[in-house]
Structure 1
Amino acid sequence: MLGAAFTPLDWLAVVHRELLLFSCLFFALGSLDEFAIDVLYLVGRLSGRIRTPVIDRQAVEGRDLSGPVAVIVPAWREEEVIGATMRHLLAAWPQKQVRLYVGCYANDPATIEAAARAARGRARARIVIHSGPGPTTKADCMNRVYRAIEEDERREDVRFRMVVIHDAEDMVDPAALPLFDAAIAKAELLQIPVLPSPQAPSRWVSGHYMDEFAEAHAKAMVVRNWLGAGIPSAGVGCAIARDRLAILDTRSGWRGPFDADSLTEDYELGLRVAEAGAKVAFLRVRGDDGRLVATRAFFPRRLETAVRQKTRWVCGIALQGWDRMGWSGGVIDGWMRLRDRRGPMAALVLFAAYLLLVLSAVLLVAQQLGLARSLALTPLIGTLLVANAISLVWRSAFRGIFTAREYGLEEGIRAVLRIPLGNFIAILAGRRAVVQYVASLRGTMLTWDKTEHRGHPSLVPGAPA
């Protein structure tokens, strides 16, 4: 029996073994979940049901559109990047049917001034001023821009065919808009991949975004699209039919088509459109030059800003989203929502795993000194350890391959080395998200905790047009 004969270090060994069982079990469940996606992806690729079409960029870029298009860019304290974003967007999409709406706040004169400079002499650009003090939420800013779009439609007797959503730091792809224009006739919400741009000063923190998006938007999202599940919008590189926005505006009960009370209105937008019975689609296409048609942007360089950004994602999708959207839909949609909402649990399991590394080192030293006894592993734990080790190699290989496909072999190798850093960021973001969510339950208002942007990909020498 366990009793007084056990020293504190012996009890630590017991805790270590129980923690090991907990971590191994949940790692195994997560591995099975990812393995199912991997198998579906491989089946889809081998059968030809999942493929990446190749387009002639020269024939597509700059092509006339079927109708007028409004592009929404909400901005709060984006004076360092908004000008470059506007200039690049209007140059990449020269079609006369395009009108750019930039949403600013009255108490953010620096962003207004930068946007106004970029809009000078460009008739296709509009600056929309939110009268309320910022920041509110991104959705609230976009609702104000939507009202401006409605006003222009009434005044000019026009009707936009679709609305494209982007962030203030995005570098758009010249081929994206013509692709949206062709596909919007078959689906009411479209999403293209996001491709974080490499940043030499931050190969590790910003680089881990490259790894995650390279895999998620080449595998998980295309599988989701193939299975017919709801496609969450990424909030950038997203097009939605104008009529669908009008329906959301009239039926939602919100202060516009976007829910201003949500931290992740972009994620919810795609799922709500799918819930309404409308078709949504993920478009993954390559140009004949080998480049993916995608939205490129710089992601956070510093650990603190990366944690803040991912906190918003975890809190909005995993915690707030559970309350707001529930588990409607079929089995496939339920599975995908469960995957979307695993952030807090994944953070807990990762924390337990890294704590195990520390405890293992302490116990190893104690056992060598004869201060603690060694507890034998159960057959279940031994089996789970082997399975998880195999899964780790498998997962690392997939991560490296997908990253190397978009960024080259060197970054593919770095992708494997960046996995522990990505896990550490996930742990910190998960903890912060839970604290933030609990505070919101106590009445604290959630606001737009936006990421600071210090540069734009189009300003880097050699950046793609």
Structure 2
Amino acid sequence: MNCYFEYLRVTLSQDLASVRRIGGHLDWIEAVRPVITILQLAERELLLFAAFWFLIGAMDDVVVDLCWIWLRLTKRACAGFISREAAEAPLTGRAAVFIAAWQEEQVIGHTIHHALSVWKQAEFILYVGCYRNDPATISAAMAGAGSDPRVRVVIHHKAGPTTKADCLNRLYTALCDDERRYGYRFKSIVLHDSEDMVHPAELAVIDGAMTDAEFVQLPVWPEPQPRSPWVGGHYSDEFTESHAKSLVVRNALGAAIPAAGVACGFSRDIIARIAGLRHAEGVPGPFASECLTEDYELGVLVRREGGRSRFLRARDADGQLVATRAYFPSRLEDAVRQKTRWIHGIAFQGWDRLGWDQGFADFWMALRDRRGPLTAFVLGMGYVLLVVEGVLGIFRLVGWNSQVAISPSLRIMLLLCFASFLWRAIVRFVFTAREYGMTEGLRAVLRIPVSNIITIMAGRRALVRYIKTLRGEAITWDKTRHDVHPAHASSPTGSTR
């Protein structure tokens, strides 16, 4: 590093000496030569840095791609099937569905009404958690429930918002009270968000999988948003690739499955076991109140407690994927805020709270989950490199002809980076087009820069938020409002969970 600074000092001294000698007749290129020298050094270092880390990330992704291809060839990655009769059959045990709601009066009523209309079973209770200082959400929830006995609106004794985990723990307390009061025990607990449009076969699929698993995660399907094809649309690309490939590979490897907090079911016994661990820590329930991604952490803890986790893809009698549909953020600020919460909770808090597992598969997947901050930094440096190249390109167009020396090894790295980018674009196109059609598949490739920019902004904010929590700042439920529900929207504008 010292040699670079010495080289820079000598070069700048020589250039400034040239400036003094030429005086008033100085050519403008000679005047900016010191700037060009600095940009050349930055170009070389950024090329090395970006090429190295891009290749590391590319190798990681390609290995997952190859694993998925192998699973497809061996027919181990194919979706299951559930008939219409099985989807509407009575459950083998009682299910409790938890929804935590704060200022969700625009969507919570639609969510409850839709769930009650498509879930034909009587063996479930929908627990909706509201706050005593949020009368609008309480009213909307009660209106959506009507007189249906399968809904229970639970009002938190605390003023909101606390955290989502705290609200879920209040629902768990209500569930335990009901079990003692009525003398029965639930078989499963299912988590959902206030804006979700559930699938009619969901409860049946989860109930059937609970015979040999303690945790089941079903896919999440971001609804396309005509008014936000870029910001809102990029969620379709990321979730499709994750829930059609990455989690399939994860499931096949036997690694821990992270819970998405939506369309995920847990056995009553494993939840009770985790609640016992939390009780020893002074937490009144199975959900970590101080964690921003309590659902992710809960999924990891299932495996650590000896439970079996499964990620299931199934299609109904009409060929539709059994998945939860929802609108994701349509505005840049909302998308950045949401991903900030994910990166903060999974990468920073996950490292602090969960540590690292010993098994290879779990360790590898934990690395993938927590690479968000590094990905944001590497992408940021990549875009800085583009800016540097653009400025140097302008200088070259107007007469400056000096080029940075690229070694053979760096040239090979750059070629591999380009090839990996093409491969990544093809993979994204294939997975998005398979679920959403050719038009969205093509848009998925064009949306890659949008996804990158959101990741960069969210990574920076997550680091700032994490540092603030280290200094003692309290963690609160950082969320945005939902304005439209997928089941009752003619002109979607988007939302966030």
Q: TM-score, normalised by structure 1?
A: 0.97
Question: What residue in structure 2 maps to residue 298 of structure 1?
Answer: 327
| Residue of 184, 201, 209 corresponding to 1:183 | 209
2: distance between equivalents of 1:163 and 1:73? Answer: 11
Taking the TM superposition and a 5 Å limit, the aligned residue runs for 1:132-281 are 132-252=158-278, 253=281, 254-281=283-310
- The amino acid across from 1:23 in the alignment is A
What does the per-residue CA deviation read over 1:103-145, in whole Å, with 9 as the maximum and x for residues that have no partner?
A: 0011111101111111221111111011111111111000000
Whether 2:378 is the aligned partner of 1:378: answer no
Whether 2:14 is the aligned partner of 1:5: answer yes
Using the TM superposition, give the Cα deviation of residue 226 of structure 1 relative to its aligned residue in structure 2, in angstroms. 0.2
Using the TM superposition, give the Cα deviation of residue 372 of structure 1 relative to its aligned residue in structure 2, in angstroms. 7.2
Using the TM superposition, give the Cα deviation of residue 437 of structure 1 relative to its aligned residue in structure 2, in angstroms. 0.3
The two structures, once aligned, show a CA RMSD in angstroms of 1.4
2: distance between equivalents of 1:119 and 1:35? Answer: 47
Q: Secondary structure at the match of 1:405?
A: helix
Question: What residue in structure 1 maps to residue 65 of structure 2?
Answer: 38
Whether 2:465 is the aligned partner of 1:436: answer yes
| Residue of 101, 110, 116 corresponding to 2:142 | 116
2: distance between equivalents of 1:221 and 1:462? Answer: 32
- The amino acid across from 1:16 in the alignment is E
1: distance between equivalents of 2:213 and 2:154? Answer: 29
Taking the TM superposition and a 5 Å limit, the aligned residue runs for 1:6-155 are 7-56=34-83, 58-155=84-181
2: distance between equivalents of 1:148 and 1:288? Answer: 36
Maintained 8 Å contact 2:169/2:285: yes
What does the per-residue CA deviation read over 1:332-371, in whole Å, with 9 as the maximum and x for residues that have no partner?
A: 1000000000001000111111111111010112233345
Question: What residue in structure 1 maps to residue 439 of structure 2?
Answer: 410
- The amino acid across from 1:174 in the alignment is P
2: distance between equivalents of 1:152 and 1:224? Answer: 36
Percent of aligned pairs with the same amino acid = 50
Maintained 8 Å contact 2:87/2:205: no
Whether 2:486 is the aligned partner of 1:457: answer yes
Q: Secondary structure at the match of 1:169?
A: coil
Using the TM superposition, give the Cα deviation of residue 67 of structure 1 relative to its aligned residue in structure 2, in angstroms. 1.4
Using the TM superposition, give the Cα deviation of residue 462 of structure 1 relative to its aligned residue in structure 2, in angstroms. 12
Using the TM superposition, give the Cα deviation of residue 250 of structure 1 relative to its aligned residue in structure 2, in angstroms. 1.4
Using the TM superposition, give the Cα deviation of residue 461 of structure 1 relative to its aligned residue in structure 2, in angstroms. 5.5
1: distance between equivalents of 2:14 and 2:74? Answer: 62
2: distance between equivalents of 1:34 and 1:267? Answer: 21
1: distance between equivalents of 2:409 and 2:135? Answer: 62
Q: Secondary structure at the match of 2:329?
A: coil
1: distance between equivalents of 2:116 and 2:491? Answer: 19
2: distance between equivalents of 1:14 and 1:369? Answer: 20
Q: Secondary structure at the match of 1:146?
A: helix
2: distance between equivalents of 1:176 and 1:260? Answer: 27
Q: Secondary structure at the match of 1:128?
A: strand
2: distance between equivalents of 1:327 and 1:61? Answer: 39
Maintained 8 Å contact 2:190/2:265: yes
What does the per-residue CA deviation read over 1:352-399, in whole Å, with 9 as the maximum and x for residues that have no partner?
A: 111111110101122333457322112222111110111111111111
**Bigger radius of gyration:** 2
For structure 1, the 5+ residue unaligned runs are none
Taking the TM superposition and a 5 Å limit, the aligned residue runs for 1:314-329 are 314-329=343-358
Maintained 8 Å contact 2:315/2:321: yes
Q: Secondary structure at the match of 2:233?
A: helix
- The amino acid across from 1:129 in the alignment is I
Maintained 8 Å contact 1:284/1:293: yes
2: distance between equivalents of 1:169 and 1:462? Answer: 16
Question: What residue in structure 1 maps to residue 495 of structure 2?
Answer: none
Maintained 8 Å contact 2:232/2:328: yes
Range that drifts further, 366-375 or 334-343:
366-375
What does the per-residue CA deviation read over 1:388-432, in whole Å, with 9 as the maximum and x for residues that have no partner?
A: 111111111111111111111111111111110000000000000
Whether 2:387 is the aligned partner of 1:358: answer yes
Q: Secondary structure at the match of 1:246?
A: helix
Q: Secondary structure at the match of 2:427?
A: helix
Q: TM-score, normalised by structure 2?
A: 0.91
1: distance between equivalents of 2:304 and 2:52? Answer: 33
How many residues align? The count is: 462
Q: For the structure 1 residues 201 and 462, does the alpha-carbon distance in structure 2 shift closer, same or farther, using more than 3 Å as the test?
A: closer
- The amino acid across from 2:451 in the alignment is G
Maintained 8 Å contact 2:197/2:325: yes
2: distance between equivalents of 1:109 and 1:28? Answer: 52
- The amino acid across from 2:65 in the alignment is D
What does the per-residue CA deviation read over 1:256-282, in whole Å, with 9 as the maximum and x for residues that have no partner?
A: 111111000000111001011110100
2: distance between equivalents of 1:55 and 1:144? Answer: 34
